[in-house]
Amino acid sequence: MTLPAPFPDWFAKRGWQIHPHQQEMLARKDEAALLLIAPTGGGKTLAGFLPTLVELADGAHKGLHTLYISPLKALAADIRRNLSTPVEEMALPIRIEDRTGDTSYTVKRRQRADPPHILLTTPESLALLLSYEDAPRIFAGLKRVVVDEIHALAESKRGDQLMLALARLDRLCPGLRRVGLSATVEDPPALAHFLARHPDPCTILQADPGPEPDISMLQTEAAPPWSGGGGAYAIPEVLDEIRRHRITLIFHNTRAQAEIFFHTLWMANDEGLPIGIHHGSLDRQQRERVEKAMVQGRLRAVVCTGSLDLGIDWGDVDLVIQVGAPKNVKRLVQRIGRANHRYSAPSKALLVPANRFEVVECVAALEAVKDNDLDGDPRGPGPRDVLCQQILIAACSGPIDPDALFAEVTSAGPYAALTRPDYDACLDFVATGGYALRSYDQWQRLKQRPDGQWQLRDPRAAQLIRMNIGTIQDSDTLKVRMKRGGGRALGEVEEGFAASLTPGDTFLIGGRIVRYEGLRELTVEVSRDPGRKPKVAVFSGTKFATSTQLSHRILRMFRQDSWPELPAATAEWLALQREVSRLPQPGRLLVESFPHDGRQHLVAYGFAGRNAMQTLGLLLTKRMEEMGLAPLGFVATDYATLIWGLDAVSDPGPLFDRTALREGLEGWLAGNAVMKRTFRASATIAGLINRVTPQARKSGRQATFSSDILYDTLHRYDPDHLLMQVTREEAMRGLVDFGRIEEMLDRINGIDHLALSRVTPLAAPLFLEVGKVPVEGEGRARLEEAEAERLMQEAGLA
């Protein structure tokens, strides 16, 4: 298809050539579903919008034409600014507006009455719009939906919710066309299946991936330490690189590590290079200040986390440094793409392993990038808690015809395989609570009318449901504010971290050390602390587990006779391990046992990723407790679990019996904190718990009770309840990650047990790991008793 006027002139005036994939998108603009996969800087957004601009150029269309959905509010605003350029320069008769949680009430109301041609929004704002009774009128005439950064959305429940919203839009606007824009992914057909309107197909367009990235390991004077995740040893070289480049992004895997690194970096930053910090726990205004400074080119480097992973054009970034093992090759490749937003130039990236084991992991990741071997685990079918919320949203907009709604939700990719009984169970949960004990029938949430349709019993419930739309969990963080000087907001910390603080404790936030003063209402009050060393920043953020593919690569590397590609210190370390013990092998499970410091130790090198190795630690110690082996505690990393106790394990074989492990899991899951946390998230999404209530403020804190109580109650009286099923499913593939324990058991065909006299080289770093887990039992009760006694003595009350 040739571009109509005035487009060719505009391209020519800018000195641009239309990219082949932009041309292709235009040619295929009438297809019902299109997925475009293009690298960063490939003109993806324009490719997505070009058909819209062309269709709207003659000014004939009235009302909403294109809906653009992005995972970030900031991205929606950024795109609005970027789109205004061609629209203004070509004088196109097109109105573009964004609508997010930050949009004012007046503007939102006007947008509902008189929608723009192009509306830029987020999945949550779209879900809210669809819950209004006048949704059919708002979306009348809608022709196209563009989903940006769909690879990121597809990894979470936000994506599942969005696909359900698209299914709903499709019913309101027959003939609606959908387009997904994605960065490089490992399995394009899976993403196309996610986006498609089932049973119709979705066409995949692949843009030229551009030149190979220029990626290597940062050479440092000092060898990396044995354990830990800081990367502080590399600060002098990192500063050199910042000096040599225009703008450097320094990615970290966790917020706490980003904070510590930023603090240490500034202490060494003698010439005062302008360096900022950006992560999801910081106050929004602080983040916006850093973003603005970056775009204006006033910063030379930004220390950041995944909060900068997504598509906003941050200006002239020409180097990405990844501190800590990337854990996942796909994310590494996407991060590298942040450097050099120009299509034709290779992106430049440096890896900084945080410790000696991560050196091996980084080398494996470099090879995977070279081989273009991306990883990713399939996500499984759409979660039912999100479906429950969708039913509530539908009920807010009007009566539900159960058959029509079933047809609608099963046209969404994640729910294409949903069975009618599973759907009916979700509808029953939304309507009645779905409990085995049928109570309070007169107060059901939904009532069935004589014509078979379901409607809200109390229409006033719609307000509360709308307030709680969304799948993002933010309820377990507390705001941090300065106690004096107007109470400036600094950011957020996790509730668990806040609970562990006592007045006088110091921690890092936004790169500064603050002193904990106290908790007021639901805010952590702090003051400036002049000290140089904080207690520690332990609000953790997401901890990613090393992917299955990367773990396998590492195991394969261990088979080599020597490792010329590794730095000498690491190669020698591996050789020494081979000499005194053995290196883990693919197909075998290496288990070492040895005495150390008066305790017996056992290490299992399972290479199943942090979450699974943590679960394995819990299951093994439980079995050991039953077998009278008196385990005292354990610690887990991505590759191994270290257990210590009073007695030596002579035969580890029975410990790894699959049936016994699975039985142990069932029993252990019941009272587990991981399950309770998972339950809280699912119960909130499904609408059992309200994140926000209009009464919350005035009724005070003692009126709300913990969701743990609901979990315990259901576990005791209604263990097969829908939400308990959902919780079990989520935990198994999420934090519990039992799937990868099974994967480990599948791939090993035997255990190599070595009883040794002392700590081995590969086990040594495990002793320095943080996050040791004490085994529950007698020990904990004794500790509490001692602590209570000490407090009473100290207070003079004993």
Partner 1 sequence: MDGYAFTLAGAELLALPSGALYWPAQGLLCVSDLHLGKAERMARRALSPLPPYETQDTLARLEEALELTGAETVVCLGDSFDDDAAARALPPKDRLWITTLQAGRRWIWIEGNHDPGPVDLGGEHLSELALGPLTFRHIAETAARGEVSGHYHPKAGLRGRWRPAFLYDAARLILPAFGTYTGGLRSDARELRALMAPDARAVLTGETARVIPMPR
How many C-beta atoms lie closer than 10 Å to residue 440's C-beta?
10
Least separation in angstroms between CB 531 and partner 1? 23
Rounded distance between C-alpha atoms, residue 498 and residue 420, angstroms: 44
Among 112, 198, 457, 543, contact with partner 1 (rule: CB under 8 A): 457
Omega before 225 cis (within 30°)? no
Q: Could you give the angle at the alpha carbon of 347 between the alpha carbons of 275 and 511, nearest 5°? A: 20
Two tokens, residue 37: 């996969």
Rounded distance between C-alpha atoms, residue 179 and residue 185, angstroms: 16
3-state secondary structure of 268: helix
795 binds partner 1 (CB under 8 A): yes
771 binds partner 1 (CB under 8 A): no
Handedness of CA 172, 178, 182, 186 (dihedral sign): positive
Least separation in angstroms between CB 253 and partner 1? 25
Q: Is the Cβ–Cβ distance between 319 and 215 less than 8 Å?
A: no
Among 110, 706, 768, 776, contact with partner 1 (rule: CB under 8 A): 706
Q: Mention every residue, 6+ apart, whose C-beta is less than 8 A from residue 24.
A: 205
697 binds partner 1 (CB under 8 A): no
Among 432, 448, 473, 540, contact with partner 1 (rule: CB under 8 A): 432
Omega before 51 cis (within 30°)? no
Binders of partner 1 in range 332-361 (CB under 8 A): none
Looking up tokens 């499970």 gives 589
73 binds partner 1 (CB under 8 A): no
455 binds partner 1 (CB under 8 A): no
Two tokens, residue 115: 């929608």
Residue type, 702: Q
- Tell me, by CB under 8 A, how many residues bind partner 1: 50
Two tokens, residue 296: 């204006």
698 binds partner 1 (CB under 8 A): no
448 binds partner 1 (CB under 8 A): no
Least separation in angstroms between CB 349 and partner 1? 40
Least separation in angstroms between CB 479 and partner 1? 17
Among 718, 729, 742, 769, contact with partner 1 (rule: CB under 8 A): 718
The DSSP letter of residue 45 is H
688 binds partner 1 (CB under 8 A): yes
Choose among 475, 742, 734: nearest CA to 610: 734
Rounded distance between C-alpha atoms, residue 378 and residue 475, angstroms: 28
Taking the least distance from each CB to partner 1, the nearer of 512 and 535 is 535
Among 51, 224, 687, 761, contact with partner 1 (rule: CB under 8 A): 687
Least separation in angstroms between CB 31 and partner 1? 43
CA dihedral 478, 484, 487, 488 (to 10 degrees): -100
Residue type, 797: L
Rounded distance between C-alpha atoms, residue 600 and residue 591, angstroms: 13
Taking the least distance from each CB to partner 1, the nearer of 97 and 712 is 712
91 binds partner 1 (CB under 8 A): no
Write the binding mask 484 to 503 for partner 1: x where contact by CB under 8 A, - elsewhere.
Answer: ---------------xx---
Rounded distance between C-alpha atoms, residue 638 and residue 239, angstroms: 29
Region binding partner 1 by CB under 8 A among candidate stretches 29-37, 250-258, 437-445, 756-764 = 437-445
Two tokens, residue 681: 């998230």
Q: What is the largest CA-CA distance in the chain?
A: 89
Region binding partner 1 by CB under 8 A among candidate stretches 43-51, 481-489, 549-557, 701-709 = 701-709
Taking the least distance from each CB to partner 1, the nearer of 619 and 722 is 722
433 binds partner 1 (CB under 8 A): yes
702 binds partner 1 (CB under 8 A): yes
Contact residues toward partner 1 (CB under 8 A) are 432-433, 435, 437, 439-440, 443-445, 456-458, 460-461, 464, 499-500, 518-519, 687-690, 693, 700-706, 709-710, 713-714, 716-718, 721, 781, 783-785, 787-788, 791-792, 794-795, 797
